[in-house]
Amino acid sequence: MIADRHPRHARTILSVLAMLGAGLLLSGTASAQTLEKVKARGNVVCGVNPDLQGFSMHDAQGSWSGFDVDFCRALAAAIFNNPGKVQYVPLGTTDRLQALQSDKIDVLSRNTTWTFAREASLKLNFAAVTYYDGQGFLTRRSANATSALELDNASVCVQKGTTSELNFADFFRTNNLKYQVVALDGLDELLKVYDQGKCTVLTSDTSQLFAARLRLDAPDDHVVLPDIISKEPLGPFVRFGDDQWLGIVKWTHFAMVNAEELGVSSKTIDEALKSNKPDVKRLVGIDGNYGEQMGLTNDWAVRIIRHVGNYGEVFERNVGTGTKLAIPRGINSLWTNGGIQYAPPIR
Ligand SMILES: N[C@@H](CCC(=O)N[C@@H](CS)C(=O)NCC(=O)O)C(=O)O
């Protein structure tokens, strides 16, 4: 009798599990139609950083700009021929990935690093590296440090929920350096604490250190040390389970990189439409039906380039040497220029 009751109990558990599984499958199928949802809604819901100079900023009228914001605009341009069809959702470091998992946004474009765990364990797909970054240190000029290796006994300001937390601890331990950690939630608070002198250094992705420095009371009193202690490939994330949407996000970046490589920009797009070059003809949709293969129109890349620009234009406009951030292209140069920005061909 007892032996009998157990299998029945097990069967109940199994059927509950099967129902749960079916539920998951159903919700998986529903979320496999992001493009249809986006088209029906009339905009792309894009998760962004609330305020990161050069990458994601908004003015009093609620108009957004920046390198990561331009990626959202490029998606909207590809889908709607209108870069304004974006709803921006500002997200912090600790809620950004969960917002994507729980369907609050269609895509996350917010200085987020591609890591193994964010794909395998959080069930998210990283789409493409829009910005190759690395972690560094910001410190006071008066500390006279020329390298992070001179930072023994430092108090380190770092933002919670970031890859930076683990990286710097690894670096200090590997180099037998002692440290105290000051881990805080928001960037504003972190900058305040650092500015008050409660931390010797502030650590984060180097691009963000350049942006953070400009928000200090006396930016010129602080320097970004030359050490790069990690790889931080940054770019957009999407949810697992929608290959078409992943493809659109991925190829939006690749279209911009290919356009730069082919010399096609927002200024030359009309000439490009008359080009005889096979690569250009495929990019602008004169040859083939590449856009339709992704559920878009064949002029999808023309829309991106016309409204937002090629990769180089987006980089220079937002964070390049002519801007306040003045970040050199460095490894984000095209592979043909000694960098590692390299896009697969459209063919
Ligand atoms: N790339 C790293 C760090 C990204 C990150 O979020 N950095 C902070 C430090 S500057 C930030 O953007 N903070 C802005 C905010 O939370 O408002 C990651 O993906 O974990």
CATH of the domain at 147: 3.40.190.10
Establish if 29 belongs to a structural domain: no
Q: Are 275 and 339 in contact (CB under 8 A)?
A: no
- Provide the residue range defining the domain that includes 140: 135-230
Question: Which tens digits make up the pLDDT trace of 78-122?
Answer: 999 999 999 999 999 999 999 999 999 999 999 999 999 999 999
Ligand 1 atom 19 nearest Cα? 112
Instruction: Supply the pTM of this predicted model.
Output: 0.89
Pair 120, 40 in one domain: yes
Residue 328 lies in a domain: yes
Map residue 166 onto helix, strand or coil. Answer: helix
Q: What's the per-residue H, E or C state across 219-233?
A: HHHEEECCCCCCCEE
- The domain total for the chain is 2
Residues 124 and 243 occupy one common structural domain: yes
- Atom 10, ligand 1: residue with shortest CA distance: 208
> Which parts of the chain sit beneath pLDDT 70?
1-32
Task: Tell me, yes or no, whether 154 lies in a domain.
Answer: yes
Looking at residue 17, its pLDDT comes to 43
158 with 201, same domain: the answer is yes
Residue pair 266/303 in contact (Cβ under 8 Å)? The answer is no
Find the 39 Cα to ligand 1 centroid distance in Å: 30
pLDDT at residue number 23: 41
In a domain, 253, yes or no: yes
Distance 261 CA to ligand 1 centre (A): 30
Protein residue with its CA nearest to atom 20 in ligand 1: 162
Q: Is residue 148 a part of any domain in this protein?
A: yes
In a domain, 345, yes or no: no
Q: How crowded is residue 23: how many other Cβ atoms within 10 Å of its Cβ?
A: 10
Residue 54 placed within a domain: yes
Does the CA dihedral 55-255-305-80 come out positive or negative?
negative
In this structure, the answer to whether residues 111 and 225 fall within a common structural domain is no
- Closest protein CA for atom 6 of ligand 1: 93
Q: What percentage of residues in the chain have a pLDDT greater than 90? A: 90
Residues with CB under 6 A from ligand 1: 49-50, 52, 92-93, 111-113, 159, 162-164, 186-187, 204-205, 208, 212, 232, 234
Q: What pLDDT sits at residue 13?
A: 44
CA distances from 316 to 115, 328, 329 (A): 27, 9, 8
Nearest CA to ligand 1 atom 3: 162
What is the model's pLDDT at position 65? 98
pLDDT in the model for residue 186: 87
Q: In this structure, are 142 and 202 located in the same domain? A: yes
* 139 and 128, same domain (yes or no): no
Candidate from 93, 188, 207 with most ligand 1 atoms within 8 A of CB, to mutate: 93
Residues 6+ positions from 339 with CB-CB distance below 8 Å: 329, 330, 331, 332, 333
For 137-186, the pLDDT digits (tens) are 999 999 999 999 999 999 999 999 999 999 999 999 999 999 999 999 98
The answer on 123 and 77 residing in a single domain is yes
Q: Residue 32: what pLDDT?
A: 59
Q: Based on the domain organization, do 325 and 182 belong to the same domain?
A: no
Q: Are residues 128 and 139 in the same domain?
A: no
| Ligand 1 geometric centre to CA of 310 (Å) | 25
Alpha carbon nearest to ligand 1 atom 8, residue: 159
Same domain, 164 and 103: no
124 and 246, same structural domain? yes
Instruction: Mark whether 238 and 332 lie in a shared domain.
Output: yes
Is residue 11 in some structural domain? Answer: no
